[in-house]
Amino acid sequence: EGGGNNRRFERLGVKPTRVPLGVKRKSLRIVVTGGAGFVGSHLVDRLIERGDSVIVVDNFFTGRKENLAHHLGNPRFEMIRHDVVEPILLEVDQIYHLACPASPVHYKFNPVKTIISFYVTNVVGTLNMLGLAKRVGARFLLTSTSEVYGDPLQHPQAETYWGNVNPIGNNISLTLIFRFIIVFLLFTILGPGVRSCYDEGKRTAETLTMDYHRGLGIEVRIARIFNTYGPRMCIDDGRVVSNFVAQALRKEPLTVYGDGKQTRSFQYVSDLVEGLMRLMEGEHVGPFNLGNPGEFTMLELAEVVQETIDRNAKIEFRPNTEDDPHKRKPDISKAKELLGWEPTVSLRKGLPLMVADFRQRIFGEQKDGSG
């Protein structure tokens, strides 16, 4: 792995950047696409703290400048307003590619626009970042998603499970055309609510990443992220944790979709960031599941939210979408073994940390330090 890239480095007379964690080394130049978003901004914090130089590339579609305001003025930090769908020239050592229109609200309310924006961002955006990695010999990390497993028949999901289609085993041009047609047909037949645009966009991004790795020797890393929560999460993006927390704080009923017996596993954002950094610095391509194996039904999650914020918060049942996955829980044995990584923050420990941030953003500055 990385042999082709090393040859490229030799040609260019540059040393490859392969530095073990914890070893003193020269500061790296790192680009984080989607760095103004929820996960990206926490990653940027850690990279800056570690002494590296960070360039954030973000079009602020769902991200916010406030998430990074504390780095403005730091000479090792730069923020560029840019859509990854357009090519960009940068000189960097590592690329964390997070940019993605990732909100379920968008795909439920405007599926046509969403499907296109997902496809274009995931395909063209990823292609551009891979092209950049190729040109400068940088290492590239893709943040894929547990959604590539679809509504999984295997539980918990290991990386070897293909979901419905093997995302990294196909021929590139066939994949792109074929997948686009399938997603388009699905959408036309089934109409709004089809969430496959998200799954398929990420599958395609994984395919492209593996094609650049196998075909061109680019150093790549793939993370499959499971549901993550924490401070700076979008308040109104429709995800279950942000919905419940915001609802409980606003004294509104918690909206449970369906019977509430579907499960998810919720990972605190600092655990994810640690996993992403270990993956980038490590020797293994992946894909790696990064998630917390603690599994909760939505009713159990509602209970934890009630315990944390408001014991009297009411629960209101709402119809669920048909294609909602019934169960999701990562098998993280691979990351444990090869990256020495596992989550350390439980839901009961992590939720209050997020509540403090939500309280402040919803109600404005509060001097009592509540939460």
Residue nearest ligand UDP, Cβ-based: 131
Contact 225, 291 (CB under 8 A): yes
| Binders of ligand UDP in range 276-315 (CB under 6 A) | 298
Out of 4, 16, 131, 293, the only residue in the binding site for ligand UDP (CB under 6 A) is: 131
Phi, psi of 151 (to 5 degrees): -95, 95
Terminal Cα-to-Cα distance of the chain (whole angstroms): 47
d(CA 252, CA 172): 47
Work out how close the CB of 9 gets to ligand NAD at its nearest, in angstroms, rounded to a whole number: 28
Residue 46 contacts which entry, ligand NAD, ligand UDP, none (Cβ below 5-8 A, type-dependent): none
Rule CB under 6 A: say whether 127 interacts with ligand UDP: yes
Angle made by CA atoms 261, 262, 263, in degrees to the nearest 5 = 110
Residue 161 contacts which entry, ligand NAD, ligand UDP, none (Cβ below 5-8 A, type-dependent): none
Q: Are strands 295-297 and 263-265 parallel, antiparallel or unpaired?
A: antiparallel
Work out how close the CB of 249 gets to ligand NAD at its nearest, in angstroms, rounded to a whole number: 20
Out of 89, 312, 365, 368, the only residue in the binding site for ligand UDP (CB under 6 A) is: 89
Rule CB under 6 A: say whether 148 interacts with ligand UDP: no
Helix segments in 120-167, DSSP class H: 126-136
For residue 363, give the H/E element and its range: helix 347-363
d(CA 349, CA 154): 29
Residues 289, 339, 209, 33, CA torsion sign: positive
Q: CA distances (Å), 370 to each of 166, 234, 243, 363, in order?
A: 47, 20, 20, 11
Residue of 198, 212, 229, 268 marked active site? 198
Work out how close the CB of 145 gets to ligand UDP at its nearest, in angstroms, rounded to a whole number: 8
d(CA 194, CA 291): 24
Q: Which residues here bind ligand NAD, judged by CB under 6 A?
A: 33-34, 36-40, 57-63, 83-85, 98-102, 121, 125, 143, 145, 225, 227-228, 234
d(CA 338, CA 244): 35
Rule CB under 6 A: say whether 351 interacts with ligand UDP: no
Residue 134 contacts which entry, ligand UDP, ligand NAD, none (Cβ below 5-8 A, type-dependent): ligand UDP
Q: Is 257 a catalytic residue?
A: no
Rule CB under 6 A: say whether 106 interacts with ligand UDP: no
Rule CB under 6 A: say whether 324 interacts with ligand UDP: yes
d(CA 172, CA 6): 24
d(CA 265, CA 305): 15
Residue 61 contacts which entry, ligand UDP, ligand NAD, none (Cβ below 5-8 A, type-dependent): ligand NAD
The region of 53-61, 83-91, 304-312, 357-365 touching ligand UDP under the rule CB under 6 A is 83-91
Rule CB under 6 A: say whether 218 interacts with ligand UDP: no
Residue 36 contacts which entry, ligand UDP, ligand NAD, none (Cβ below 5-8 A, type-dependent): ligand NAD
Active site residues: 198
